[in-house]
Structure 1
Amino acid sequence: MKQLAVLCFFLVLNLYTQKLRAQSEPQSPDQKSNWNVGMEGMLGASAGKNFYSFNVGGPSLHLRLTKDLKIGVGALPSFYVRDGKTGAKLGVAPRLDYKSWVLIVPFFHFDKTEVWVASAGLGYKFHKKA
């Protein structure tokens, strides 16, 4: 484990020094940087009866109805609070996307009790800036 941490440290250090070297070299006006930092994805929150979750948009399938409107279904990796206890769970959710806003209705299955818990919430999609 320690060897893996050292390997990761040197890999990150190598990438960082390459980035610094690239910044110090003069660039022509039409040459673009290889690095592009931005946030892409969806963050959301949903609530149900004695249940709250904070979601990150996972893989999903969409049907585009108009330029700004899509419907679909997706997986939602989530942190939840249920009856005062916390955990992490993968939910499945139908979703309605309008521009950058997402209406989600995630369902979560709890194996011990064989119960599906439903919630409803809202998410915001971050788009990569080019």
Structure 2
Amino acid sequence: MKKYVITALLIFSAVVTYAQQQPATTDTEPKKTMPKNVEAGFDGMLAISYGSKSFGINVGGPSLKYKFSKKFKVGVGAFPSLFVARGKAAPKLAVSPIVEYSHLMFITPYYGFDAHNNPIWTFGVGYRFF
């Protein structure tokens, strides 16, 4: 039994020594990156949107935008929101197209359907802090 343990330890130490001597392999494939005019991330923004008999207070969430210039961007994003309709407030997640100029954002959040199976859309303005 002792002979097998010593043999296993010798083989293990030989394998470890051989692995340490091998050069690290380098990746020859270039890393894929997003184009410079596309940006994805979280928006640090606050917005107010108003629709028929309802309004929402929206905060920035994940977004994907295309940069036309340094100040002008167009994209789509998801906004965690406090949605107020008929005097009742409820948290909802809105999905919205975004038009951004400098720090000013124009959004049209979509909240889903109401109890009467009508789509809920609002239109609003927001400010991006960073």
TM-score, normalising length from structure 1?
Answer: 0.64
> Could you tell me how far 1:111 is from its partner in structure 2?
6.2
Runs of 4+ in 1 over 6 A off after TM superposition: none
Q: Distance in 2 between matches of 1:63 and 1:70?
A: 6
2:76 alignment partner, SS class: strand
2:70 alignment partner, SS class: coil
**Cα deviation 1:44-103 (Å, max 9, x = unaligned):** 000000011000010011010111000000001000111111101000000101001100
Backbone CA RMSD of aligned residues: 1.4
Residue number in structure 2 paired with 1:52? 55
Larger Rg: 2
1:96 alignment partner, SS class: strand
Residue number in structure 1 paired with 2:80? 77
- Aligned residue among 112, 122, 125 for 1:119: 122
Query: Unpaired runs of 5+ in structure 1?
Result: 1-39
Query: Unpaired runs of 5+ in structure 2?
Result: 1-42
Residue number in structure 2 paired with 1:103? 106
Q: Distance in 1 between matches of 2:85 and 2:70?
A: 37
Kept in 1, the 8 Å contact 2:66–2:75? The answer is: yes
2:97 alignment partner, SS class: strand
Letter in 2 for 1:67: K
TM-score, normalising length from structure 2?
Answer: 0.64
How many equivalent pairs are there?
Answer: 88
Q: Distance in 2 between matches of 1:87 and 1:60?
A: 22
Q: Distance in 1 between matches of 2:116 and 2:94?
A: 16
Q: Percent identity?
A: 41
